[in-house]
């Protein structure tokens, strides 16, 4: 298991420097993932946890799109759930890296949340994206930990460097590391990197938000124009509307 040292949950967010961006770009290119510290403050974590609980309760595939995932608490269409969530899609610490990798006009493809239930949640290792390693990265996933994510509660497994090859994902379990991602931190993955959610043996809460970004022009996993209510759509700033591809 790879341990990630954290100074603890922060009251404030760090200023993103050019050096930080260069560091994360380098990690992302080499390993296929990187972890951004303290993108959510302590106060935001309290709010996020409450609102995610509400989102799990209110999720309805007919209204929110996508399918319920067995073995998890789950919801899709999270931007529609509360005004707290929309600004996260443009949060500098994460969106700057998305723009660096996917281009300045990159958009949000989907915003979901997934939490493995006690003794459930194991996924086979897989790749989310199919573009050949030689082509430009077409999509990234960003996993925002609302609770400390550790092996005891089903932390994500990844195979470092596997975005650079074509080995079958299902045969790479021995090379996988289970990442410890403290609450408030964000795991950013190249969608070609081999990874999977894991069994949650303790049942301790593991609420994670998945904000999936793609290059501008690529169809969204959740058509935001279709699934966001009129009220939410009209409340959004021009920048958020652009990232959601509403216009
Ligand atoms: O939440 C996680 O740990 C990873 C989820 C995942 O890989 C997926 O749903 O495809």
Q: Which domains does the chain have, with CATH numbers?
A: 22-243 (2.60.120.620)
| Ligand 1 midpoint to CA 196 (Å) | 5
Please tell me the residue having the least CA distance from ligand 1 atom 7.
196
Q: Tell me, what DSSP letter sits at residue 228?
A: S
Average of pLDDT values for 56-63? 96
Q: Looking at the DSSP assignment, which residues form a beta bridge with residue 112?
A: 210
H-assigned helices in the chain: 18-31, 42-58, 61-64, 92-102, 224-227, 230-235, 238-243
The whole-number pLDDT of residue 189 equals: 98
Instruction: List pLDDT tens digits, range 158-172.
Output: 999 999 999 999 999
| Ligand 1 midpoint to CA 107 (Å) | 20
Instruction: List pLDDT tens digits, range 92-150.
Output: 999 999 999 999 999 999 999 999 999 999 999 999 987 777 789 999 999 999 999 99
SS3 of residue 149 by DSSP:
strand
Q: Are 39 and 184 in contact (CB under 8 A)?
A: yes
Please tell me the residue having the least CA distance from ligand 1 atom 2.
197
| Ligand 1 midpoint to CA 235 (Å) | 30
How many CB atoms neighbour CB 123 within 10 A? Answer: 18
| Ligand 1 midpoint to CA 71 (Å) | 12
How many CB atoms neighbour CB 239 within 10 A? Answer: 12
Work out the percent of the chain whose per-residue pLDDT is above 90: 89
Pocket of ligand 1 (CB under 6 A): 114, 123, 128, 143, 156, 195-197, 208
Q: Tell me, what DSSP letter sits at residue 225?
A: H
Q: Mutate which of 126, 148, 156 to test ligand 1's pocket (most atoms within 8 Å of Cβ)?
A: 156
Average of pLDDT values for 49-58? 98
Instruction: Indicate the average pLDDT of the chain.
Output: 94
Instruction: Give the total residue count for the chain.
Output: 247
| Ligand 1 midpoint to CA 22 (Å) | 26
Q: Where are the beta strands (DSSP E) in 90-221?
A: 107-116, 139-145, 157-158, 177-178, 186-190, 195-196, 208-214
Residue 15 confidence (pLDDT) above 80: no
SS3 of residue 174 by DSSP:
helix
What is the Cα gyration radius of the chain? 17
Question: What span, in angstroms and rounded, lies between the C-alpha atoms of 91 and 131?
Answer: 26
Q: Tell me, what DSSP letter sits at residue 84?
A: T
Question: Which ligand 1 atom minimizes the distance to the CA of 198?
Answer: 3
Instruction: List pLDDT tens digits, range 183-227.
Output: 999 999 999 999 999 999 999 999 999 999 999 999 999 999 999
| Ligand 1 midpoint to CA 109 (Å) | 15
Please tell me the residue having the least CA distance from ligand 1 atom 1.
197
| Ligand 1 midpoint to CA 238 (Å) | 30
Question: Which ligand 1 atom minimizes the distance to the CA of 154?
Answer: 3
The whole-number pLDDT of residue 13 equals: 80
Residue 3 confidence (pLDDT) above 80: no
Work out the percent of the chain whose per-residue pLDDT is above 70: 96
Please tell me the residue having the least CA distance from ligand 1 atom 5.
197
Q: In 3D, which of 87, 216, 214 has the Cα closest to residue 140?
A: 214
């Amino acid at each position: 298991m790879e341990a990630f040292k954290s100074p603890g949950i922060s009251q404030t967010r760090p200023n993103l420097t050019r050096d930080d961006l260069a560091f994360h770009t380098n990690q992302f290119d080499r390993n296929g993932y990187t972890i951004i510290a303290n993108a959510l403050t302590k106060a935001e974590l309290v709010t996020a946890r409450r609102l995610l609980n509400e989102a799990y309760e209110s999720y309805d595939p007919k209204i929110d799109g996508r399918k319920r995932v067995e073995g998890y608490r789950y919801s899709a269409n999270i931007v529609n759930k509360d005004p707290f969530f929309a600004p996260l899609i443009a949060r500098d610490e994460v969106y700057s890296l998305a723009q660096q990798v996917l281009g300045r006009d990159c958009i949000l493809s989907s915003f979901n949340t997934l939490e493995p239930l006690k003794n459930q949640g194991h996924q086979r290792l897989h790749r989310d994206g199919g573009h050949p390693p030689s082509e430009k990265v077409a999509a990234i996933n960003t996993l925002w930990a609302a609770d400390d994510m550790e092996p005891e509660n089903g932390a994500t497994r990844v195979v470092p460097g596997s975005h650079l090859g074509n080995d079958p994902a299902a045969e790479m379990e021995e090379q996988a590391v289970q990442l410890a991602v403290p609450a408030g931190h964000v795991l950013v993955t190249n969608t070609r990197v081999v990874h999977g959610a894991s069994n949650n043996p303790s049942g301790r809460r593991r609420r994670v938000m998945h904000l999936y970004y793609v290059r501008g022009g690529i169809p969204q996993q959740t058509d935001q124009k279709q699934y966001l209510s009129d009220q939410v759509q009209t409340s959004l700033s021009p920048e958020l509307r652009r990232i959601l591809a509403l216009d």
